[in-house]
């Protein structure tokens, strides 16, 4: 069974277009990326500050999670 | 402003990027991912990285410790989340413990006085004095609470001002004639305390033991400790089983 781990997310980060949120696996000694690590069910809850629809936030493999009102 | 949930349902290789689309502005509130390191090339640290449009790193958010190659973890990031190895999670002492549930919250002053019955036992290794000389044993904690600062092992200093009882004990084997004659003195406020003087005067070659006790009020700059005088000008003396018990009574 996978470990359950929580970590700190920098609070109140107001990110504009072209910023990137990256899920990485880094070598603990060198800080370089470690090959062969995969992620699944990557999930983000974000506050959308700009006008428009939620669909405007879909990017790359990240899609909207259908909610009860959609 | 609305909260929006985004998910990448597929299994994807790291690094996995989410590029904020044009004309959008967001504030991340919570992020999770299931990391599978069964094919990892080595130990790894799941890390969330925020990159500026020019590619420079704005923030690293690693978990507190590395995962071994082959391990898996479900990782959650959220503001005020726990840093596994960096945040304070618990403050402990021999007199009790305080669990810290929010290491990133406001500063809190925790006054945890030692109980009235708190004591600390100190010991010193065998201590020798040459003829007619004097010296101070070097003390080390052996049991009980941590009442004194042992930065200078010959002169313990109380961590909290108060009223203390200190008792010194030692055993010696007196040298052959002429008979040994020694005095052991407890120190408080850097002076010899009245009533804390003990002498040993037994027949040469006889083992003996003695203890002395002193009660005093100690400020934070005062020192506990003990000075031992070898009053025998002809022979050296060796002390064993050196013990100093300090009891905080108020």
B85 touches chain A (CB under 8 A): no
B105 touches chain A (CB under 8 A): no
Report residue B186 as tokens.
Answer: 């407890």
Return the bridge partners of B71, or none. Answer: none
**Spatial CB neighbours of B23, under 8 Å, sequence gap ≥ 6:** A17, A50, A52, A56
Burial label, B215 (beta-carbon count in 10 A; 0-12, 13-18, 19+):
middle
Nearest C-alpha neighbor of A36 from the set B35, B101, B155: B35
**Section B15-29 average pLDDT:** 93
DSSP letter, residue B44 = B
Structural contact between residues B139 and B150, judged by C-beta atoms closer than 8 angstroms: yes
**Section B96-103 average pLDDT:** 60
**Which of B41, B66, B73 faces A36 most closely, judged by CB atoms?**
B41
Interchain CB contacts (distance < 8 Å): A and B: 313
In Å, what is the CA distance from B11 to each residue of A3, A42, A62, B14?
A: 18, 9, 12, 10
**Section A2-6 average pLDDT:** 83
CB < 8 Å to A62, chain B: 6-8, 18
Question: What proportion of chain A, given as a percentage, has pLDDT over 90?
Answer: 56
**Section B149-175 average pLDDT:** 79
Nearest C-alpha neighbor of B232 from the set B173, B179, B172: B179
Question: What proportion of chain B, given as a percentage, has pLDDT over 70?
Answer: 64
Residue-by-residue DSSP string for B63-128: -SSPBPTT-EEEEEEETT---TTTS--EEEETTEEEE-S-TTS-------PPPTT-EEEEEE--EE
Which residue of B lies nearest to A41 if distances are taken between CA atoms? B9
CB < 8 Å to A23, chain B: 14-17, 33, 46, 48
* B189-201 per-position pLDDT tens digit: 555 555 555 555 5
**Spatial CB neighbours of A36, under 8 Å, sequence gap ≥ 6:** B37, B39, B40, B41
User: pLDDT higher for A36 or B202?
Assistant: A36
* Segments in A1-70 forming alpha helices (H): none
pLDDT confidence of residue B226? 75
User: pLDDT higher for B219 or A31?
Assistant: A31
Report residue B1 as tokens.
Answer: 């402003």
pLDDT category at B154 given cuts 50, 70, 90 is: confident
**Section B119-139 average pLDDT:** 85
pLDDT confidence of residue B181? 47
pLDDT category at B14 given cuts 50, 70, 90 is: very high
* B33-84 per-position pLDDT tens digit: 999 999 999 999 999 999 999 999 999 999 888 999 999 999 999 886 655 4
CA distance A43 to chain B (A): 4
- Mean residue pLDDT of chain B comes to 77
pLDDT confidence of residue A69? 46
**Section A8-26 average pLDDT:** 93
pLDDT confidence of residue B34? 96
* B168-187 per-position pLDDT tens digit: 777 766 555 444 545 555 55
Cα–Cα distance for residue pair B163/B189, rounded to 1 Å: 12
Answer yes or no: do A16 and B43 touch at CB < 8 A: no
What's the Rg (C-alpha) of chain A? 15
Structural contact between residues B127 and B238, judged by C-beta atoms closer than 8 angstroms: yes
């Amino acid at each position: 069974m996978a470990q359950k781990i929580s970590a700190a997310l920098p609070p109140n980060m107001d990110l504009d277009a072209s910023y990137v949120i990256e899920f990485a696996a880094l070598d603990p000694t060198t800080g370089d990326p470690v090959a062969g690590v995969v992620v699944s069910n990557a999930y983000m809850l974000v506050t959308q500050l700009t006008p428009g629809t939620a669909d405007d936030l879909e990017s790359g493999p990240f899609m909207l999670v259908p909610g009860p009102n959609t | 402003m609305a909260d929006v949930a985004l998910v990448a349902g597929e299994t994807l290789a790291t690094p996995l990027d989410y590029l904020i689309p044009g004309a959008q502005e967001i504030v991340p509130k919570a992020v999770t991912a299931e990391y599978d390191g069964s094919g990892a090339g080595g130990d790894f640290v799941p890390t969330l990285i925020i990159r500026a449009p020019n590619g420079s790193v704005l923030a690293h958010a690693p978990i507190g410790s590395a995962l071994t190659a082959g391990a898996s973890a479900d990782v959650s990031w959220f503001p005020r989340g726990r840093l596994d190895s960096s945040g304070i999670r618990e403050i402990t002492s021999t007199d009790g413990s305080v669990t810290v549930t929010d290491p990133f919250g406001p500063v809190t002053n925790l006054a945890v006085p030692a109980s009235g019955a708190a004591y600390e036992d100190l010991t010193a290794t065998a201590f020798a004095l040459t003829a007619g000389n004097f010296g101070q044993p070097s003390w080390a904690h052996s049991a009980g609470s941590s009442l004194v600062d042992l930065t200078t092992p010959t002169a313990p200093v109380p961590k909290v001002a108060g009223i203390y009882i200190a008792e010194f004990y030692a055993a010696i084997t007196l040298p052959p004639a002429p008979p040994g004659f020694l005095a052991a003195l407890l120190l408080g406020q850097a002076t010899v305390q009245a009533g804390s003087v003990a002498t040993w005067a037994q027949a040469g070659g006889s083992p003996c033991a003695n203890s002395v006790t002193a009660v005093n009020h100690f400020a934070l700059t005062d020192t506990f400790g003990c000075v031992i005088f070898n009053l025998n000008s002809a022979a050296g003396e060796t002390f064993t089983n050196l013990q100093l018990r300090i009891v905080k009574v108020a």
